[in-house]
Amino acid sequence: MSIHILPPQLVNQIAAGEVIERPASIVKELLENCFDAQATQITIHIEQGGLRLIRVCDDGVGIEKNDLPLALSRHATSKIACLDDLEHVTSMGFRGEALASISSVAKLTLTSRCENSSHGWSVCSDGAEQFFDVQPAPHPRGTTVEVCDLFYNTPARRKFLKSDKTEFGHIETVIKRMALSRFALEFTLFNQQKEVLKLAPALNSAQQEQRIAVICGQNFINNALRLDFEISGLALSGWISVPTFSRSQTDMQFFYVNGRLVKDKSVTHAIKQAYSDVLFAGRHAIFVLYLTLDPTEVDVNAHPAKLEVRFRDNRGVHDFMVSCVKRALANVRPMISNYDELPPRPESEFEQTQHFSPRYQQQSLTLSEPEMYQTLYSQPNEFPLENKKTFDANPNRMVLGYAITHLHGIYILSETATGMVLVDTHAAHERITYERLKEQYAEGAIATQPLLLPIKITVTESEADLLESSEHFFKMVGFELSRIALNTLLLRAQPALLQNSDGEQLVRDVLADLMEHEESYRIQSEYNEVLAKMACYGSVRAHRILTQDEMNALLRELEQTERGGQCNHGRPTWIALSTQELDKFFLRGQ
């Protein structure tokens, strides 16, 4: 068969196959055009799941009459003009193929009016035209794109679509996700001529949280932490869920780069890593996060549908996000409130000694690895009061209050200024012990354990090359590992704390991480897993009754402990009930 030029409509249909997966894909492309047009109000009409009609109207700057035919031509855009522009993309669209691709698989009408025009102009296309007939049309300032009979000329594509209800669900999801990237815009969605979604402009923090509550649920806002970090040209802001509020799926994870909704494996890995120490197994965090950086540091031209990006410094972005989220999660602890204080209460003998004991103040917090085991297992049923920190906090305003009793040897019942608190003794002590162990282990050198018989590990040549360039990293975390042949490594020693782990498999997993992410947290995760087990085994066991001094000491320590809101397994360590909630139980005041 001889080589020939493909017809324009077929070229556009091929391009449409990369961009238009379903009706929701069209809505996404049209919304991005509205954003670039500086719209303040966007209205979307959907019929039959988008197959019969998709109409998107905005009040943006509009399109000039002479530009309307060009807007329907492939690779025609006002966003970029040269390669330098492509490396500094700040607009949502820039490829200039969305409308041409849509018109090749549907009947499209484009109507627009600029502010300085007395009326609007309209042009129609079904993908086959080479010359467009522009006609006058009544229209307010802005643009309306109407897409009818989607896939009418490619019936095979229609067979892959789901029911109208399912397809509309995808459209609604896209609109909600896009709405979280433009709080100042008003969004109105109609389905079968009925208004189903109305999002007013959100110009302040309270209004933004209201919009997020509509999309993610009020419970998320009630259990969310606010982030706002900036360093070295990177800024991360938004909301993340506390570890005890999670989902079984990843459907409530929204991430934006310079206002663009994207999915990125490195970002997903960073969030997972940040939560690894606090999230219950099999659960996923909820987040709405916004990353802002110099446009030259991110490539938005990495995916036909612009759903993925590439960072110039992928490792730097990854580590920045891990650090920010971890710092936010570290502050999940009881906080001092502004409520009325409890009546003055005399300090117990223990509390007095904690304020003034010279022996405690001179105590070193650094323990060697054998000492850590000895501390935990020498008296496993004793609560280590001597390890408690001093507090200069006001004893009348302790947020976890004062211990009243130890219920069933499991829960501490505490009176607070605003109600009561129940604390899971084991979970709370487990988190306290775990955080202390991590601090102590981080302060000391990592002890290594020589292997009785060195292990030969066969790897690929690229993995062996990577090992040579990362040998210092492995040595730093306690591995004695070297390359002895083109495809062979020799493991002579591994961290003493991980002596019961599969060293060979851990090396392979770490190399795989380094190949993909240029960073690995597997070894640290293995360390943390061992330390978590030590903390669990060494913490106060159920049914061991604590004295009042011991309970108050634990409450004071928990107030000062990072990530004190949940245990190592992601379960909550304490819950609070206000006097108002208690009054409701007994119908007081009604």
Q: What is the CB-side half-sphere exposure of residue 389 using CA atoms within 13 A?
A: 14
| Residue 153 pLDDT | 84
Tell me which of 348 and 157 has the higher pLDDT: 157
Residue 444 pLDDT exceeds 80? no
Integer distance in angstroms from the first to the last C-alpha of the chain?
87
Q: How much of the chain is helix, strand and coil, in % rounded to 5?
A: 40, 25, 40
Q: Is the pLDDT of residue 227 over 60?
A: yes
Same domain, 55 and 165: yes
The pLDDT of residue 129 is 62
Give how far the C-alpha of residue 182 lies from the chain's centroid of Cα atoms, to the nearest Å.
Answer: 18
% of the chain exceeding 90 in pLDDT? 42
CA–CA dist 68, 461 (Å, integer): 55
Q: Which of 269, 296, 330 is the last residue of a domain?
A: 330
Amino acid identity of residue 83, one-letter, is L
Q: Give the residue-averaged pLDDT of 452-474.
A: 89
Question: Torsion over CA of 327, 329, 334 and 339, rounded to 10 degrees?
Answer: 80
Mean pLDDT of the 62-74 span: 87
CATH number at residue 242: 3.30.230.10
- Compute the average pLDDT of residues 475-493: 89
Candidate from 1-10, 311-320, 426-435, 440-449 with smallest mean pLDDT: 440-449
Burial of 287 (0-12, 13-18, 19+ CB in 10 A): buried
Shared domain for 185 and 257, answered yes or no, is no
Query: How confident is residue 446, by pLDDT bands cut at 50, 70 and 90?
Result: low
| Residues 63 and 193 both lie in one domain | yes
Q: Is residue 479 part of a domain?
A: yes
What average pLDDT does range 157-178 have in this prediction?
93
User: In whole angstroms, what is the distance from residue 281 CA to residue 569 CA?
Assistant: 7
Distance of CA 422 to the CA centre of its chain: 30
- Alpha-carbon gap, residue 546 to 414, rounded angstroms: 13
pLDDT tens digits, 375-427: 333 333 344 433 333 337 454 457 898 999 999 889 999 998 889 999 999 98
Domain-ending residue, one of 151, 170, 199: 199
- Secondary structure of residue 130 in the 3-state scheme: coil
Q: Are residues 134 and 94 in the same domain?
A: yes
pLDDT of residue 114: 94
Spatial contact of 253 and 240, defined as CB atoms under 8 Å apart: no
Residues 234 and 360 occupy one common structural domain: no
What pLDDT does 140 receive?
Answer: 95
Residue 12 counted as domain residue: yes
Residue 128, CA distances (Å) to 7, 144, 325, 388, 449 in order? 9, 21, 51, 78, 72
Q: What confidence score (pLDDT) does residue 440 get?
A: 67
Q: What is the pLDDT of residue 568?
A: 77
**Residue 158, phi then psi, degrees to nearest 5:** -65, -30
Neighbours of 480 (CB within 10 A): 17
So what's the pLDDT on residue 395? Answer: 46
* Co-location of 235 and 305 in the same domain: yes
Residue 159 has pLDDT above 50, yes or no: yes
Give how far Cα 581 sits from Cα of 417, 418, 557, 588, Å: 14, 10, 27, 10
**Structural tokens at position 456:** 């030969």
Average pLDDT of the residues of the chain: 81
Higher-pLDDT residue of 386 and 142 is 142
Amino acid making up residue 353: T
In this structure, are 67 and 192 located in the same domain? yes
DSSP assignment, residue 566? B
Q: What is the pLDDT of residue 527?
A: 64
User: 246 and 375 share a domain?
Assistant: no
CB of 317 closer than 8 Å to CB of 236: no
The enclosing domain of 468 has a CATH number of: 3.30.1370.100
Q: What is the spatial distance between Cα 386 and Cα 367, in angstroms, rounded to a whole number?
A: 14
For residue 270, is it within any domain? yes
pLDDT tens column, 79-114: 655 666 666 666 776 666 788 888 888 999 999 999
Whether residues 500 and 552 share a domain: the answer is: no
Residue 529 lies in a domain: no
How many independent structural domains does the chain possess? Answer: 4
Task: State residue 95's pLDDT score.
Answer: 60
Do both 112 and 195 map to the same domain? yes
Backbone angles phi, psi at 554, to 5 degrees: -65, -40
Q: What is the pLDDT of residues 176-202, one digit of tens each?
A: 999 999 999 999 999 999 999 999 999
In a domain, 305, yes or no: yes
Q: Are residues 190 and 213 in the same domain?
A: no
Residue 163 sits in a domain of what CATH number? 3.30.565.10
Band of pLDDT at residue 26, cut at 50, 70 and 90: very high
Angstrom distance (rounded) from CA 285 to CA 296:
30
- What CATH number is associated with residue 423? 3.30.1540.20
State residue 526's pLDDT score. Answer: 66
- Is residue 426 domain-shared with residue 511, that is, in the same domain? no
Q: Identify whether the C-beta of residue 566 lies closer than 8 Å to the C-beta of residue 573.
A: yes
Q: Do the bridges between strand 107-113 and strand 120-125 make them parallel or antiparallel, or are there none, so unpaired?
A: antiparallel
- The average pLDDT across 159-178 equals 94
Is 15 within 8 Å of 37 (Cβ atoms)?
Answer: no
Question: From CA 419, how far away is CA 576, in angstroms rounded?
Answer: 7
The DSSP call for residue 545 is P
- The residue range of the domain holding 463 is 448-524
Does the residue 254 lie in any domain?
yes
% of the chain surpassing 70 pLDDT = 79
Q: What is the pLDDT of residues 561-572, one digit of tens each?
A: 888 888 877 788
- Tell me whether residue 2 is in a domain: no
Instruction: Retrieve residue 16's tokens.
Output: 């449409």
Q: Kindly tell me if the per-residue pLDDT of 304 is higher than 50.
A: yes
Residue 264, in any domain of the structure: yes
User: Which pLDDT band holds residue 145 (cuts at 50, 70, 90)?
Assistant: very high
Among candidate residues 199, 229, 246, the one where a domain is terminated? 199
State the amino acid at position 306 in one-letter form: K
